[in-house]
Amino acid sequence: MCRLLAYVAPAPTRISDVIGDGQCETFQRMGRLHDDGWGSMWVDEAGPERLLVRQRDPATAFGDVRLHTALHEEPPVRARAFHLRLATGALAIDRSNTHPFLRDGIGLAHNGSIFPSDRLRRLLIPEALAGVEGTTDSELYHALVWQEAAAGVPLGHAVARAVARLRAAYPSASLNAIVMNAEQMVVVHASSIASVPYEHFATCGLAPHELPADHDESYYRIGMLRSADGAIAFSSSGLDRSGWVALPDDSMTVVDIDTAQVRTHLVRDLLAA
């Protein structure tokens, strides 16, 4: 149960330039609740080869100057995603369990829980399991996407196949995620019957009026914002989403990083194509 924020832009920029400084501050304040670490992944074009790179920290995001710098000040890039972690159950809060997960140029940040994870492990071949470092269900989700992509299919199809297999095994799990490589960003919105983690909200130490916006039945909703300059932003709940459009349930939105072209598909339609 985490928070997601991401963007793709036609020219290098910062997330604060896309959604505004105030919205970025709101996102960081959500680290009061989602306080089990934070991370970011972005497309680095500074060197001779375009690369997907990441930053992870198991410390709380709230008040972390490094996250503030990443949101407002770091060198502009064309595509970047951010993640605030709210750990599930007794899963360890350490770097290996901190999103995003990255292997062979494919990164994933997840918002949800996929339990019990033994069924998920059984979907993975030994080569996929060999790359798993931590103990989270989310990293196993990433390993399944990696496994599908390693078969030679495009990233969008790899994500769709992984989501279809997970949905069959876990009908009510939230599979919301941001998946990236150096060419595409894939936003998964598949959580239509997932249970909102009210028990976590009740024990977090915040009064009800201190909870972020839409931490109710809208908790798993993901919205998209198109800026006048062609940038596209995505966010889970918690921000002021006036002007944002809700993504369809059980959908994948694929954004081409070179062109900022957006295509949204229902997962079942992509698999049938």
Distance CA 43, CA 51 (A): 6
Burial 232-244 (b: 16+ CB within 10 A, else e): bbbbbbbbebeeb
Report the pLDDT value the prediction gives residue 273, as an integer from 0 to 100.
53
Phi and psi torsions of 159, nearest 5°: -65, -45
Report the pLDDT value the prediction gives residue 272, as an integer from 0 to 100.
59
User: Cβ of 53: how many Cβ atoms within 10 Å?
Assistant: 15
Distance CA 17, CA 32 (A): 24
Place of tokens 């103990």: 135
Q: How many helices (H) and strands (E) does the chain have?
A: 9, 13
Domain of residue 240 covers: 3-272
Place of tokens 């410390």: 59
pLDDT one digit per residue (tens) for the chain, 273 residues: 799 999 999 999 999 999 999 999 999 999 999 999 999 999 999 889 999 999 999 999 999 999 999 999 999 999 999 999 999 777 899 999 999 999 999 999 999 999 999 999 999 999 999 999 999 999 999 999 999 999 999 999 999 999 999 999 999 999 999 999 999 999 999 999 999 999 888 888 889 889 999 999 999 999 999 999 999 999 999 999 999 999 999 999 999 999 999 999 887 776 555
Report the pLDDT value the prediction gives residue 271, as an integer from 0 to 100.
58
Distance CA 145, CA 41 (A): 17
Distance CA 164, CA 156 (A): 12
Q: How many domains does the chain have?
A: 1
Residue 34 one-letter amino acid: H
Residue 123 belongs to domain with CATH number: 3.60.20.10
Helices (H), the chain: 15-19, 21-29, 65-72, 118-122, 126-130, 137-150, 155-169, 198-202, 267-272
Instruction: Please give the radius of gyration of the chain, using alpha carbons only, rounded to the nearest integer.
Output: 17
Place of tokens 């995001």: 61
